[in-house]
Chain A
Amino acid sequence: MDQHPTIDTRQTLETPEGTDLSLYPAGFWIRSLAYTLDWLLRIAVVVVAGIVLGASGMGQGLTLVIYFLMEWFYPVIFEVWRGGQTIGKKSLHIKVINDDGTPVTFAGSLIRNLLRVVDFLPGFYVTGIIASLCNRHFKRLGDLAAGTVVVYANSVAASPVLESVGSRPVPDGFNTDEQRFLLAFAQRSSTMSPARQAELAQVLAPAVAPGDPVLAIKQMANHIVGDRTQSAKGHLL
């Protein structure tokens, strides 16, 4: 597995087609948020069912069956037939996949969801959280046993919005990951004070001397993105 330093949770996965896919495993904060959304939704369904059906014996039985399904099968049904996403996961753009990058199977989904019992122990998913902090794919025990992983769902990569400060070629020897760093710096620079930008960019000063390293990075980022809007138009028309 790739051991290069990355600036996010990116992990690579070699496929039978001979190339490396990128997976971005989702950490426990966003997952607990998704879980909380799902939990509220499940409670709401059971409460509504209880109010609507609760009058008769059969209705109470049905409510218990719904409660049972909501507790154990709600995530399984969504993960298997709705592209790995419960409603909570979908709203936060994360999803469950097998750790070979393929869509999650019924068996995998059922395993990871039944084993929540153990991940929950001794309360509030403490075991699951500790387990997910101990491996690079943020897997809780259920994910480890099922061979599944929760990742950020692939969205269509939009062209990043960068300051137009001109462009300059990237010197030889910057590998793909390092180019990603440059691009990320340019994209995030608006959230940093000029002093902080200068401090971070200082690392690259020898490589781009003479000149302002902050400006140089932004220019290189523009070069990396290239003039996409025009070339895209050119190809489509």
Chain B
Amino acid sequence: MKQAAFEQLHAPTWRALEEQLRLLEKGGDYPPAAQQQFAALFRKVCHFHALAQERHYSSFLVDHLDNLVTRAHQQIYRRKHPILQPLIQFVVTDFPVLVRAEKQAVMWATLLFVAPLLLFFIGAQIAPELVYTVLAPEQTADMESMYDPANKVLGKARDSDTNWGMFGFYIYNNISVAFRTFASGLLLGVGSGFFLTYNGALIGAVAAHLTNVGFTTTFFTFVVGHGSFELTAIVLAGAAGLKLGYSLLVPGQLTRLESLKNASHVAIRLVYGVILMLVIAAFIEAFWSSNNIFAPWQKYTVGGFLWLVVFAYLILSGRRRAA
């Protein structure tokens, strides 16, 4: 068929598609009657496009059809982004199920975080100068003044304005740390491993130092509550990062690129959970941990309960559905 005849015959079809695309891309009202036609029109124009290419019709015509087909492709394969329902399902079942499915990565991340933490916590109580291998003297001084019982007015809550300010800071700081811990896993897992180990060592050293100077009550009553969500979340962010690195190192039967793509789409779901956990942690840290109305035993009880909640949630939630 000559090109002129082809155009004569089929141009109305692609004009109709073009018209509908214009409507869809504007994002306004789109009549349901047109919806029914759209897929059929799209398939027809795809066919014309392939024919025009095959028959070496003028590139101008091919490119015009190409443009229409590409735009229609974007409309046909457009996805809705519902938020609430998937979020509930994610929190109740999908996230804990995923954490259990990625047991190996989670175990390694836990080891990389907890081992240096315990090492420094115990080591620095035996040899206090060990603290200064990860903390500068000014930082330890800061820590001391922050947790000095003399500075705390017992039986008093911090005013809510400051609490909100600190909430913003925790969101900004902690989630950024988690994101970096995750992303640096792309460097064959080395980055995530570093951040986990470094943060573990840092926390262990701070805890040991404050124990050495005798500020245990102020320090541990502060961290026990939000630590449950915060430390677990950092470990999970590290696990997600390690998964990226591992997928590059051991791609199995896939190409490294395919393996990375698959792993990153699983790992990012761990990151969703990490974000939620850190928002909860920021709330607890800003409004509960800083609150001195309660007696230490009350804070330890609630803190212990929160740890139990986090572990029970990750270990038990969604088991029935997954089985």
Interface string of B39-65 (1 = CB under 8 A from A): 000110011011001001111101110
B179 at the interface (CB under 8 A from A): yes
A193 at the interface (CB under 8 A from B): no
Query: How far is it, in angstroms, between the C-alpha of A205 and the C-alpha of B63 when the chains are bound?
Result: 26
| Residues A15 and B46 in contact in the complex (CB < 8 Å), given A111-B268, A118-B184, A235-B15 | yes
Q: Which of B103-111, B122-130, B158-166 contacts A (4 or more CB under 8 A)?
A: B158-166
Nearest B residue to A95, CB-CB = B74
Chain A residues with CB below 8 A from B182, complex form: 114
| Residues A80 and B81 in contact in the complex (CB < 8 Å), given A19-B53, A102-B73, A235-B15 | yes
**B74 in contact with A102 (CB, 8 Å):** yes
Query: How far is it, in angstroms, between the C-alpha of A22 and the C-alpha of B67 when the chains are bound?
Result: 8
Of the candidates A145, A156, A176, which one forms a contact with B53 in the assembled complex, judged by CB atoms under 8 Å apart?
A176
A45 at the interface (CB under 8 A from B): no
B235 at the interface (CB under 8 A from A): no
B70 at the interface (CB under 8 A from A): yes
Nearest B residue to A182, CB-CB = B59
**A105 in contact with B79 (CB, 8 Å):** yes
A67 at the interface (CB under 8 A from B): yes
Nearest A residue to B178, CB-CB = A114
Chain B residues with CB below 8 A from A105, complex form: 79
In this complex, how many residues of chain A approach chain B with their Cβ under 8 Å: the count is 66
Nearest B residue to A21, CB-CB = B70
A226 → B minimal CB distance (Å): 7
| Residues A15 and B260 in contact in the complex (CB < 8 Å), given A20-B53, A61-B166, A235-B11 | no
Interface string of A168-179 (1 = CB under 8 A from B): 001000111101
| Residues A177 and B47 in contact in the complex (CB < 8 Å), given A97-B74, A145-B244 | no
Query: How far is it, in angstroms, between the C-alpha of A59 and the C-alpha of B175 when the chains are bound?
Result: 19
Of the candidates B58, B179, B184, B271, which one forms a contact with A179 in the assembled complex, judged by CB atoms under 8 Å apart?
B58
In this complex, how many residues of chain B approach chain A with their Cβ under 8 Å: the count is 63
Task: Give chain A's interface secondary structure class.
Answer: helix
B41 → A minimal CB distance (Å): 12
Query: How far is it, in angstroms, between the C-alpha of A111 and the C-alpha of B57 when the chains are bound?
Result: 41
Query: How far is it, in angstroms, between the C-alpha of A114 and the C-alpha of B264 when the chains are bound?
Result: 11
A228 → B minimal CB distance (Å): 8
Query: How far is it, in angstroms, between the C-alpha of A56 and the C-alpha of B11 when the chains are bound?
Result: 64
**A101 in contact with B161 (CB, 8 Å):** no
**A183 in contact with B60 (CB, 8 Å):** yes
B7 at the interface (CB under 8 A from A): yes
Chain B residues with CB below 8 A from A206, complex form: none
B265 at the interface (CB under 8 A from A): yes
Of the candidates B12, B43, B168, which one forms a contact with A63 in the assembled complex, judged by CB atoms under 8 Å apart?
B168
| Residues A176 and B73 in contact in the complex (CB < 8 Å), given A107-B269, A154-B67 | no
Query: How far is it, in angstroms, between the C-alpha of A15 and the C-alpha of B77 when the chains are bound?
Result: 11
Chain B residues with CB below 8 A from A165, complex form: none
B286 → A minimal CB distance (Å): 8
Query: How far is it, in angstroms, between the C-alpha of A223 and the C-alpha of B58 when the chains are bound?
Result: 8
B1 → A minimal CB distance (Å): 15
B257 at the interface (CB under 8 A from A): yes
**A20 in contact with B81 (CB, 8 Å):** no
A139 → B minimal CB distance (Å): 10
Of the candidates B43, B78, B183, B244, which one forms a contact with A17 in the assembled complex, judged by CB atoms under 8 Å apart?
B43
**A145 in contact with B46 (CB, 8 Å):** no
Of the candidates B176, B180, B191, which one forms a contact with A68 in the assembled complex, judged by CB atoms under 8 Å apart?
B176
Query: How far is it, in angstroms, between the C-alpha of A108 and the C-alpha of B267 when the chains are bound?
Result: 11
**A61 in contact with B167 (CB, 8 Å):** yes
Query: How far is it, in angstroms, between the C-alpha of A231 and the C-alpha of B261 when the chains are bound?
Result: 47
